[in-house]
Amino acid sequence: MNDPQFPAGSEANAAPLLGHRERLALGVIFGLAVVLRLGYLIENLSNPFLYMPVLDEAYYIGLGRAIAHGHILGENRVFFMDPLYGYFLGALFFALNQLSFLTGGPVTQDTALMAARVIQILADSSIVYLIYLLGAKTWSRDAGLFAAAAWAIYTVSFFYTLLILKTTFTVFALLLFTLAMIRAGERGKSSEWLLLGVFTGLLTFLRANLLLMAPLAIVAWILAKRPSARQVAVNSIMLAAGLMAALTLGAARNKAAAGEWVFLNSQSGRLLFASNNPENLTGRYMAPSFSRKGPEQMEQDFHAEAERRLGRKLSTREVSSYWTGETIKFIGASPANAALAIYNKLKGTFGSFEIPINRSVKSNERFSYIAQAPAPNFALALALGLPGLVAGIWMRRQVWWLIPAMGTILVTVTLFYTCSRFRLPMVPFLLVGAGISATITAGWARERRWLPVAAMIALAVALGAVSMSVEGREYRADEKYFLAKAYIKVGDLRNGAAVAMDAAREFPQEPRFLVLLGMAALWADNLPEAIRINTEALLLDPENTDAMNNLGLALSASGDHDKAIRWLTKAYSTNQAPMSLLGLAMALEKKGDGAAALEAYRRFVAVEKPGSPRASMALGRIRALGGGE
């Protein structure tokens, strides 16, 4: 249906999309976006989290470093996570290393990561232009400007520009893809649909769930443009051909690195089961009881558990298939529990609370006045955006182009889990919907049509209230753990010990805070205290490998090499962590057992990622011990 006030194709297809007024307005909006994000970065320079990447961030930094040092395959296995962001970091690290003559020496990791953050800030600020184009093409210039201005001050996006994660680029690429999809749909050329398929493959290398954009693009095209059956058939084939061409490159890489033809990353089955199992009906990301929490440790534990259950060795693809099958069994055996999990996922997705994973949005508020200032939140985007999208589809078919991205995200959280960074790519599309709501309501107000104005406002208030009513829960223990660890990592032992001590009192059954206090004591060279605290932590949790590792390091530093070697050997046999192996090698060398130390250093280099500073140090020790490498 087309409202007389908004005839189909009126302003949505008007040209040019950028008049003088729009250029001036977008210039101001872009400038505001850059200034606010740079200000947020400057405020966070005192944030220790910037200098201690964890979990997914640490994985991508290691991958980027390996690529920058010439290991083009990145790692000698099927890609664990979506690789494209790792290649961005690799290219950046390589370029900065080539420019090191300007700095008089090698570029430090902190400098390289700061450069990545600045690039992400510029990309996130440039999103205002993409949002404007999307709003102008699907509805009106004013709707596009409204949405662009809202994104400029959407502080949740500021947070993700500082993380060494693919979130910012995912939002940017998804908007760019949507604009390319609209162009291909309007022109109908087979060559453009072929290129769109290749683009979909690149999206998949950035985040695997975006594979869903391919079929949903065809659906949106049918709903928005009503093409003939022949056009749909031909261009669907072209889209699939382009997609398969791109995915085959990734599969060939996995074959070369690991001997397996795997088209996507290796963690899909694991994530599916971790999000849907009898132990986890929360809708969030949680490790089951047989697994550790870290992503790479989870991958190892899931592989080992699958092999234990089946009683045979499994390939990476077989492990992923096994856990996918276990998820299907759980859903079939417990449909009520599966439905509860889905309900919690959708509730969390539409609730205003920003569900943390790795780090929370609120964790940065203590370092930033900008983050604490009143700004649009998800509840506002949902309250204004959803009515605008529904009304927009009713009035104009072009609005269907906004739906594939939102559908992809909703399917993703329903299958896997909900969190803030999964949801963020949906926000620009809701903001365009908010722009549609604003222009429709303004038009009704000019015509004094107060009943529909009141209905639109009432619906927005109701949606906002529902979103705000969903209770959120911070992972306080995790946040305090990572904050204390970050302070210790940057050498601020006083603040690190204070946070860890406070957390140890609040969570007395969690030995990891004692481990952090022991780490602070070790870094302060208070070896008796480090030994005492880590011993106490092991009394609480005899299998705590961090406590074993740090106790071994403290004993080695105090000269008790035999005990140090026993604890470090036990730590490595339990967790297979390269750092425990490096500590063991150093303890063996201090003891004077050069042959054993040489073997341990060689084993460490074999498992450590290429390009790591620790690997370079170990190679130096191998040469010093006569290893000749």
What element of type H or E holds 537?
helix 527-540
Question: C-alpha 376: how far from its chain's center?
Answer: 22
Q: Residue 102 has what pLDDT?
A: 65
In degrees, rounded to 5, the angle at the alpha carbon of residue 84 between the alpha carbons of residues 371 and 97 is: 85
Please state the rounded mean pLDDT for residues 571-583: 81
pLDDT at 244 over 90: yes
> What's the pLDDT band for 188 if we cut at 50, 70, 90?
confident
Q: What is the mean pLDDT of the chain?
A: 87
Spatial distance between the Cα atoms of 104 and 24, rounded to a whole number of angstroms: 42
* Residue-wise pLDDT tens digits, 388-415: 999 999 999 999 999 999 999 999 999 8
pLDDT at 6 over 60: no
Q: Residue 10 has what pLDDT?
A: 42
Q: Residue 298 has what pLDDT?
A: 82
* Cis status of the peptide bond prior to 16, with omega within 30 of 0: yes
Q: Residue 283 has what pLDDT?
A: 84
Instruction: Specify the domain boundaries for CATH 1.25.40.10 within the chain.
Output: 479-624
pLDDT at 316 over 60: yes
Q: Residue 536 has what pLDDT?
A: 86
Highest mean pLDDT among 5-19, 45-59, 183-197, 508-522: 183-197
Look at the chain and count its residues.
629
* Residue-wise pLDDT tens digits, 102-136: 666 677 888 899 999 999 999 999 999 999 999 99
* Residue-wise pLDDT tens digits, 448-474: 999 999 999 999 999 999 999 987 776
Spatial distance between the Cα atoms of 537 and 546, rounded to a whole number of angstroms: 10
The CATH number of the structural domain formed by 479-624 is: 1.25.40.10
The answer to whether residues 428 and 131 touch, using CB atoms and an 8 Å cutoff, is yes
Spatial distance between the Cα atoms of 452 and 394, rounded to a whole number of angstroms: 15
| Phi, psi values for residue 542, rounded to 5° | -60, -15
Q: Residue 590 has what pLDDT?
A: 85
Number of continuous H segments (helices) and E segments (strands) in the chain: 29, 0
pTM for the model stands at 0.85
pLDDT at 478 over 90: no
- Distance between first and last Cα of the chain: 74
Q: Residue 89 has what pLDDT?
A: 94
* Residue-wise pLDDT tens digits, 324-359: 998 999 999 999 999 999 999 999 999 998 888 777
pLDDT at 183 over 90: yes
**Is the pLDDT higher at 575 or at 239?**
239
Query: CA 107, 108, 111, 112: dihedral to nearest 10 degrees?
Result: 70
> What's the pLDDT band for 214 if we cut at 50, 70, 90?
very high
* Residue-wise pLDDT tens digits, 33-77: 999 999 999 999 988 888 888 788 888 998 898 888 888 887 877
Please state the rounded mean pLDDT for residues 381-387: 95
Q: Which residues, at least 6 apart from 129, have a Cβ–Cβ distance to it below 8 Å? A: 26, 30, 148
Range from 18-22, 260-264, 508-512 carrying the lowest mean pLDDT: 260-264
